[in-house]
C-alpha cells in the first residue's frame, strides 16, 4: 500500500474526494441568492388555517365595530333628527355639546361614579379573592356564591336593588332600624343617589375576584415563606410581595373597570332615570335620551365620539403612569 493510499489526503484529486462537503449557506438547491428557508407543507397549512379561522372575527370586527364607528363619525357631523333627512353641519354638534350645561353635569356624575365604583370594586374583589385563596375546603362553593351576582340579568338586579333601596319597606333601612342607626333616602336623595348606585356596581365584583384569585395563585410560595421566616406579618407580606407581583392584574382591572363604569347605562335607566335632579345623569344615559327621546342622532353621535376620545386619553395616561407602580420582571 502506498503512502497516498494510507493517508488518503495527498494529491488534488484525493483532497476533493475526501474533504467534507460544504454547502453555501446562501445557496438553495445549488443556486446562490435564495437565502430563504423553505417552508414546510405543515407550516403552510397551519398559516392557511390560521388566516381562515381568524377571518370571521376580523370580518365581524370590521362590520360591527369599525363600520358603525365610521358611520357615527359621519352622522356626528350632520344635523340629523329622526324622521328628517341629514344635513351637513360640520362642527356645530360639538359646539352645541360644549355649550350644554347638562353635558358637564353628565360628565361630573359619570366620573364621580367611576371614582367611587371602580376603586371600591377593586378593593372588595381583592379582599374576597384573598380570603378565597386562604380557604382550603369549599373554595369552589365560595367562587360560585360570589360569582352569582354577575350572572343575574341587569334588569333583575336593578329591580332587586330598587326594593333594597326603598326608604320605607326596603331591607337596608329595615336593617338600620333594627340596629338603631340612622336611615337613608338611598337612590331617592340627591346626595345619596350616586353612592347608592356605586353599591350596585360593587356588588358585581365576581369577575374581578376570580381574576385576582388566579393572580394570587401565581405568587411564589417560597417568597412568602422566606418573608414569614424573616418576621414579616401578613400585612407586610401583602404590601411588599403580593401587591407588587399582582400589580399588572390591578392595572388590568382598573382600566377595564373604568371603561365599564363610564359606559354605565342600566342603573341610571332602570333605577333612577337619571335623577334626582340629574344626580345620576350618567353620560351614556344622557346620550341615549338625546338620541332616542329627543331624536337628535347627530348630537348623540358627536357625544359618543367625545366619550371615545376621553376614554382613550385617560387609558393612555393610566398606562403612562403604570411604569411607576406596576411591577414587571424587566423593570428595575
Question: Which pLDDT does position 86 carry in this prediction?
Answer: 87
User: Which are the contacts of 171, defined by CB distance < 8 A and separation ≥ 6?
Assistant: 163, 164
Query: Between 1.10.3720.10, 2.120.10.80, 3.40.50.20, 1.10.287.610, what CATH number should domain 96-323 receive?
Result: 1.10.3720.10
- Report the run of H or E that residue 314 belongs to, with start and end: helix 297-321
C-beta of residue 318 within 8 angstroms of C-beta of residue 251 = yes
Q: What are the b/e assignments for 123-147, b being 16+ CB within 10 Å?
A: ebbbebbbebbeeeeeeeebbeebe
Domain boundaries defined on the chain: 96-323
The three grid cell numbers given for residue 184, joined into one nine-digit string: 337613608
303/290 Cα distance (integer angstroms) = 9
Q: Is the pTM of this model over 0.85?
A: no
**Which residues face 27 on adjacent strands?**
32
Query: Among candidates 274, 284, 281, which has minimal Cα distance to 307?
Result: 284
C-beta of residue 34 within 8 angstroms of C-beta of residue 28 = yes
Question: Which pLDDT does position 85 carry in this prediction?
Answer: 87
Helix (H, G, I), strand (E, B) or coil at 204: coil
Question: Which pLDDT does position 155 carry in this prediction?
Answer: 87
153/94 Cα distance (integer angstroms) = 35
Q: How many CB atoms lie within 10 A of CB 154?
A: 14
Q: How many CB atoms lie within 10 A of CB 65?
A: 10
- Report the run of H or E that residue 227 belongs to, with start and end: helix 221-229
Query: Among candidates 291, 308, 302, 263, which has minimal Cα distance to 96?
Result: 302
Average pLDDT, consecutive stretches of 10 residues, N- to C-terminus, the chain (332 residues): 42 43 47 60 90 95 94 92 86 93 94 94 94 82 85 88 90 92 91 92 91 91 89 89 93 93 90 89 94 92 95 93 81 53
C-beta of residue 143 within 8 angstroms of C-beta of residue 132 = yes
Rounded to 5 degrees, what are φ and ψ at 34? -70, -55
Q: How many CB atoms lie within 10 A of CB 245?
A: 16
DSSP 14-70: HHHHHSPP---TTEETTEET--SPPPPHHHHHHHHHHHHHHHHHHHHHIIIIIHHHH
Residues 160, 165, 166: CA angle, nearest 5 degrees: 100
User: Which are the contacts of 310, defined by CB distance < 8 A and separation ≥ 6?
Assistant: 262
The three grid cell numbers given for residue 240, joined into one nine-digit string: 411588599
Amino acid at each position: 500500500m502506498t503512502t497516498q493510499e494510507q493517508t488518503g489526503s495527498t494529491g488534488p484529486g484525493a483532497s476533493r474526494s475526501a474533504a467534507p462537503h460544504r454547502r453555501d449557506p446562501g445557496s438553495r438547491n445549488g443556486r446562490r441568492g435564495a437565502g430563504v428557508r423553505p417552508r414546510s407543507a405543515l407550516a403552510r397549512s397551519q398559516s392557511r388555517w390560521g388566516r381562515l379561522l381568524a377571518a370571521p372575527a376580523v370580518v365581524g370586527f370590521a362590520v360591527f365595530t369599525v363600520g358603525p364607528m365610521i358611520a357615527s363619525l359621519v352622522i356626528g357631523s350632520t344635523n340629523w333628527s329622526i324622521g328628517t333627512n341629514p344635513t351637513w353641519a360640520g362642527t356645530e354638534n360639538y359646539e352645541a355639546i360644549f355649550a350644554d350645561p347638562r353635558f358637564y353635569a353628565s360628565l361630573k356624575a359619570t366620573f364621580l361614579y367611576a371614582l367611587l365604583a371602580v376603586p371600591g370594586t377593586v378593593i372588595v374583589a381583592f379582599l374576597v379573592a384573598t380570603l378565597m385563596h386562604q380557604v382550603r375546603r369549599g373554595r369552589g362553593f365560595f367562587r360560585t356564591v360570589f360569582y352569582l351576582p354577575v350572572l343575574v340579568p341587569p334588569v333583575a338586579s336593578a329591580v332587586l336593588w330598587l326594593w333594597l333601596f326603598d326608604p320605607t319597606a326596603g331591607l337596608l333601612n329595615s336593617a338600620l332600624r333594627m340596629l338603631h342607626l340612622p336611615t337613608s333616602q338611598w337612590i331617592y336623595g340627591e346626595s345619596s343617589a350616586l353612592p347608592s348606585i356605586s353599591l350596585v356596581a360593587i356588588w358585581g365584583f365576581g369577575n374581578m375576584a376570580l381574576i385576582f384569585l388566579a393572580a394570587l395563585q401565581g405568587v411564589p410560595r417560597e417568597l412568602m415563606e422566606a418573608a414569614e421566616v424573616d418576621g414579616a406579618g401578613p400585612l407586610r407580606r401583602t404590601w411588599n410581595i403580593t401587591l407588587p407581583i399582582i400589580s399588572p392584574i390591578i392595572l388590568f382591572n382598573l382600566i377595564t373597570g373604568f371603561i365599564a363604569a363610564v359606559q354605565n347605562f342600566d342603573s341610571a335607566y332602570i333605577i333612577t332615570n337619571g335623577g334626582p335632579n340629574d344626580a345620576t345623569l350618567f353620560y351614556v344615559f344622557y346620550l341615549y335620551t338625546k338620541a332616542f327621546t329627543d331624536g337628535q342622532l347627530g348630537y348623540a353621535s358627536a357625544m359618543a365620539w367625545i366619550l371615545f376620545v376621553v376614554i382613550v386619553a385617560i387609558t393612555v395616561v393610566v398606562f403612562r403612569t403604570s411604569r411607576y407602580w406596576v411591577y414587571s420582571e424587566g423593570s428595575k
